[in-house]
Chains A and B, each alone.
Chain A
Amino acid sequence: MRMKRAITWWVGGLLLLAWALAQPSPNTPPPDFSPEVFRIAGQLRCPVCQGESAAESNAGIAVEMRRIIAEQLAQGKSEAEIRAFFVERYGDWILYEPPARGLTLWVWLSPLLGLGLLGFGLWRYLARVRARALTAASEVSEEEMARLEAELQSPERQP
């Protein structure tokens, strides 16, 4: 009886999970343009929005941008050409992934630089700790060493 109930719960849970996974994700493009349009629009900022891409926004200008992308795709333009069209009007600002040159190069390099610095600092620190451990060992006097050796001898062996 208990077994049966457990199975019911499991099946119910799995069904619920399957149902949740089957929900369309909220960002799926509306059916008016091809997914290609939304893929390219997703790389472009919506100029009048805050932190929304031209694919996500429903602002008039974002809709128009998607229309321009669809038109240019229909004219046989490449993705790079379409991106260039918007960069010509807005500058690199319109791209969510600005090209790695000039000041933006630093944005790409700084994490590497930071990692390098961190590694260097860690290496310096560990080297210092190791050196301190070694000097500490060599600073122990002969006399003290002898005493320690003696103390480490098992008591049975002592006279």
Chain B
Amino acid sequence: MLRFWPIWVLLLGGLFYWGLQRPDKSELKSVLVGKPAPSFSLPLLAPYRAQYGAEMGIREGLGKPVLLNIWASWCIPCRSEAPLLERFHQQYKDQVLILGVNVQDSEAEALKFVQEYGLTFPSVYDARGRIGIEYGYYGVPETFVIDRHGVVLARHAGELSEAQLRGYIEQVLR
């Protein structure tokens, strides 16, 4: 057996190399990709009710691609993501709906966050976190890219960079 040591070294080395090349193990593929996005309707945070009504969510007949962004006011990456989302909302609001879902949070803190960053894209408040479970989320921020037919195209776990966000928007507008 030991006569073949170069083969063993190669095998073991290959295994290590393969392990290193694998995508981030903490990144979880969503089982929702390619499936219809679960529909829901949740109360909007107060500042958006005048424009969008009392409740909002994913339902049939939205006719627009959606970026569903799950966030919380205590989440640090959400803080750097919020201005970026706002900027893209200003630019694409006629073509893409950016919808925030506030989870694991208190409504008062969420409102403070919205005010601090001057967010004009609508956010709903999920007090119990049930929508998070429906979508299989495992942390904030997390963004689901939903095409205009209501099918989930991608799930992005963690902070979005500008390039990534632009990529997703181009993907849904194609």
Contacts and interface: CB of A to CB of B under 8 A. Distances in A.
Contact of A61 (B1, B28, B133): B133
Nearest to B138: A47
A89 B128 contact: no
Interface string A26-62: 0000000000000000000001100000000001110
B136 A89 contact: yes
Question: Which of A47, A86, A93, A121 has the most CB atoms of chain B within a 10 A radius of its CB?
Answer: A47
Contacts of A59: 104
B48 to A, nearest CB: 23
A82 interface: no
Interface of B: 1, 28-29, 31-32, 103-104, 128-130, 132-139
22 contacts: A47-B136, A47-B138, A48-B104, A48-B138, A48-B139, A60-B104, A61-B103, A64-B128, A64-B129, A64-B130, A64-B132, A65-B133, A89-B31, A89-B32, A89-B134, A89-B136, A90-B28, A90-B31, A91-B28, A91-B31, A91-B136, A121-B1
Given A60-B103, A68-B130, A89-B133, 6 more contacts: A47-B137, A61-B103, A61-B133, A88-B31, A89-B135, A91-B31
Interface of A: 47-48, 59-61, 64-65, 67-68, 86, 88-91, 93, 121
